[in-house]
Amino acid sequence: MSDIDFDEDEFLYDDDDEFIDEDFTEIIKEKEEKKKYEVDYKVYSIEEIEDFQNREIEHVANIIGCLKEHAATLLRHFKWNKERLIELYMDKTEEVTQEAGVIVDAQKLPKLIKMQDFCCDICCDSGDDVESLALSCGHRFCRDCYSQYLTQKIKIEGECRNIQCPSDCCNIIVDENTIKLLVSEDTYRRYTSLLIRTYVDDNIFLHWCPAPNCEYAIECRIHDADLQRLVPTVKCKCGHCFCFGCGLPDHQPCICSLVAKWLNKCRDDSETANWISVNTKECPKCKASIEKNGGCNHMTCKKCKNEFCWVCMGPWSEHGNQWYTCNRFEEKTSVDARDSQSKSRAKLERYLHYYNRYANHEQSAKLDTELFEKTERKMEKMQKSSELSWIEVQFLKEAVETVVQCRNTLKWSKFYIKFVFYV
């Protein structure tokens, strides 16, 4: 018998195993329930994004041994690619800091002071009681001029990460602490809001929710190559569902590149195509659309100068003096010309067929807002007239959302059929 005794059951089973097994089962179940066309994503609030920024700034500041304000400037210059920043900084410190507009050797932040014999180079104000400030570059200006300069940059020009020293030919960036020291609270809030927005805009895996007045951002680790095989549909906490790849509302099953082509075609061609289909015929030679504006059947294409008959579409050279009648409808050249036109017109009619159905679903989608309002009123009425709770009547809202989603899928399916099977 071994010197070490143990209970076999205790060795094989632990009190926590049950919970571990349950958690593991939930993970497996979640993986199995995930559809092939679904993507992983996370929704973040502004507070969470700001926290991400601060953690990355602190991490870089600790690695390269500089002030957080300088680390923030470097990160924004490298568009938050901290791996590349650290790599280049360790290899070419002076070149990187000069390009980014930072003097990292400065271990103290700028502060307002009063100096004897000071004269501001902008307003020429002087006096021992004038407060002034200088960045690490040494260019000193009075508080009022600096404040007006920063306010102009932030509130009027919408600048935040590349606000340079007011001195000509100086690229030193004004740090966040200095801006907070010099501008009003309202301007500083605008400044921090712009910084958060640029943080999201610089990250290819982060997008703002496009819904009006929504301040959430979505993270989705999707690459451009993936957009050729799937539609990365995400849903914000505000309820808006959209494609992470192009920002448009959910357009499954059509990939982004096809949707862009379709929308451009719809904007340019829909009304024109309807009129062309009714009022014109195509030149048998160059396929240019021609409108008949007189009684004679002898047509001359202005584009390629081809002469043909309006009735049979055959060459005019075969018609002799038959200006207003045509007896060559069954000639091979005429039949071939009409066949070519028929194929072209068939494509146009097919496009109009699918466009009209797409447009019908699009119009129906615009009425969904009214439908949602009616549903909410119905839910309130049902709750008052029955013993059902507000949670129990949520099935009505879920039913409407399902109908809306089905209509949206049908809308894009019309286009998908046209492009995949006919184009």
Beta bridge partners of 297: none
CA separation for the pair 272, 275 (Å, rounded): 5
The distance between the two most distant Cα atoms of the chain, rounded to a whole number of Å, is: 120
CA separation for the pair 155, 376 (Å, rounded): 41
Contact 209, 217 (CB under 8 A): yes
**Helix H or strand E encompassing 371:** helix 368-385
Instruction: Write down the H helix ranges in 183-328.
Output: 185-202, 256-279
Task: State the burial class of residue 223 (Cβ atoms within 10 Å of its Cβ: 0-12, 13-18, 19+).
Answer: exposed
Quick one: angle between helices 68-77 and 185-202, nearest 10? 50
- Compute CA 162 distance to the chain's CA centroid, rounded to the nearest angstrom: 24
CA separation for the pair 405, 335 (Å, rounded): 47
Closest CA to 285 of 358, 228, 341: 341
Look up 296 and say whether it is catalytic.
yes
Contact 304, 288 (CB under 8 A): yes
Closest CA to 107 of 136, 84, 145: 136
Structure tokens at 276: 């062309």
DSSP assignment string, 159-179: --S--B-SSTT--PBPPHHHH
From the list 296, 304, 309, 326, the catalytic residue is 296
List active site positions: 296
